[in-house]
């Protein structure tokens, strides 16, 4: 079974702090994704990566950056956390070959609160 | 652009009665389609997926969905609801050639005893 793990389930940070959210997958997937989920807004894509050191902006990249130095690990960075970044953050991975038929596998999520 | 519309933001049924969660997609060609379930404070779990083989797709936990191209629909059904089915359900499209998924807004399913 594919396993996607996220470094924290719950995280509380202060405004202005630099925050790192880590995601690791164990199935050699090329694609990895970061989403945020807010009530009434559904899931919104922040960034995705289609290979090591490759990244592409999603729908709401402002205030975030990402890093993918190894295939299995995809990090989301909040350079200077703000209260409007309080949210549930979900990481996902996907096998690229086979194209659109492949589903994304999701991690358990990190609920981030910025005070 | 591809879009996915879940027609109900909230559905409430009694335990033991049928469940119907509605989803329509818009596209000039048939995408791959998925249903995911999310229990409170958990990640998304795949229920089932349509990949242009059989139009009636069976998933986990007794759920199934039927792809109807003429109606651009992919509704999720279950004959008999169980209390453990209470969760948020997402209909998702994967356009051909695209790496990103398109999510519906979600339907919250409540099961009454």
Give the distance from residue B90's alpha carbon to the nearest chain A alpha carbon, in angstroms.
9
Whether residue B39 is predicted with pLDDT greater than 70 in this model: the reply is yes
Domain residues for A19?
Answer: 4-97+105-114
The residue in chain B having the minimum alpha-carbon distance to the alpha carbon of residue A59 is: B100
C-alpha distance from A15 to closest chain B C-alpha (Å): 23
Residue B52 has pLDDT above 80, yes or no: no
List residues of B whose CB lies inside 8 A of any A CB.
31-32, 34, 36, 41-46, 49, 51, 90, 94-101, 103-106
* pLDDT value for B107: 96
HEC-encoded secondary structure of A16-78: CCCEEEEEEECCCCCEEEEEEEECCCEEEEEEEEEECCEEEECCCCCCEEEEEEECCEEEEEE
Structurally, chain A folds into a number of domains equal to: 1
Q: How far apart, in Å, are the Cα atoms of B63 and each of A73, A115, B21, B55, B83?
A: 33, 41, 11, 14, 14
CA quadruple A10, B109, B80, B39: dihedral, nearest 10: -10
- State residue A47's pLDDT score: 97
Is the Cβ pair A48, B99 closer than 8 Å? yes
One CATH from 3.40.50.300, 1.10.3720.10, 3.40.50.2020, 2.60.40.10 for B3-112: 2.60.40.10
Q: Looking at residue A2, what is its pLDDT?
A: 65
Closest listed residue to residue B89, CA positions, set B66, B107, B67: B107
Indicate if the pLDDT at residue B2 is higher than 80: no
Domain parsing of chain B, residue ranges: 3-112
Residues of chain A with Cβ-Cβ distance to B32 below 8 Å are 100-101
Which tokens sit at B19?
């469940």
CA distance A43 to chain B (A): 7
Give chain B positions within 8 Å (CB) of A4. 43
| CATH number for the domain that contains residue A26 | 2.60.40.10
CA B86 to chain centre: 14
What was the pLDDT predicted at B1? Answer: 72
Chain A residues with CB-CB distance to B90 below 8 A: 42-43
What is the average pLDDT score of chain A?
93
pLDDT tens figures, A3-53: 999 999 999 999 999 999 999 999 899 999 999 999 888 899 999 999 899
Around B113, how many Cα atoms within 13 Å sit in the side-chain half-sphere?
0
- Nearest Cα of chain B lies from the Cα of A50 at a distance, in angstroms, of 8
């Amino acid at each position: 079974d594919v396993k996607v793990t996220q470094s924290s389930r719950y995280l509380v940070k202060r405004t202005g702090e630099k925050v790192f959210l880590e995601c690791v997958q164990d199935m050699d997937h090329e694609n990895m994704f970061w989403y945020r989920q807010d009530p009434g807004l559904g899931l919104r894509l922040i960034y995705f990566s289609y290979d090591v050191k490759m990244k592409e902006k999603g729908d709401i990249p402002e205030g975030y950056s990402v890093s993918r130095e190894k295939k299995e690990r995809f990090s989301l960075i909040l350079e200077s956390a703000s209260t409007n970044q309080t949210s549930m953050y979900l990481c996902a991975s996907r096998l690229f070959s086979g194209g659109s038929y492949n589903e994304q596998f999701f991690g358990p999520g990190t609920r981030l609160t910025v005070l | 652009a591809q879009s996915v519309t879940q027609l109900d933001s909230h559905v409430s049924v009694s335990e033991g009665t049928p469940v119907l969660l509605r989803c329509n997609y818009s596209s000039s060609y048939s995408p791959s389609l998925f249903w995911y379930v999310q229990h409170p404070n958990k990640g998304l779990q795949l229920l089932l997926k349509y990949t242009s083989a059989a139009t009636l797709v069976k998933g986990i936990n007794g759920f199934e969905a039927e792809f109807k191209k003429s109606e651009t629909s992919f509704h999720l059904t279950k004959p008999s609801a169980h209390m453990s089915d209470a969760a948020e359900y997402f209909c998702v499209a994967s356009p051909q050639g695209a790496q990103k998924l398109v999510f519906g807004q979600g339907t919250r399913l409540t099961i009454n005893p």
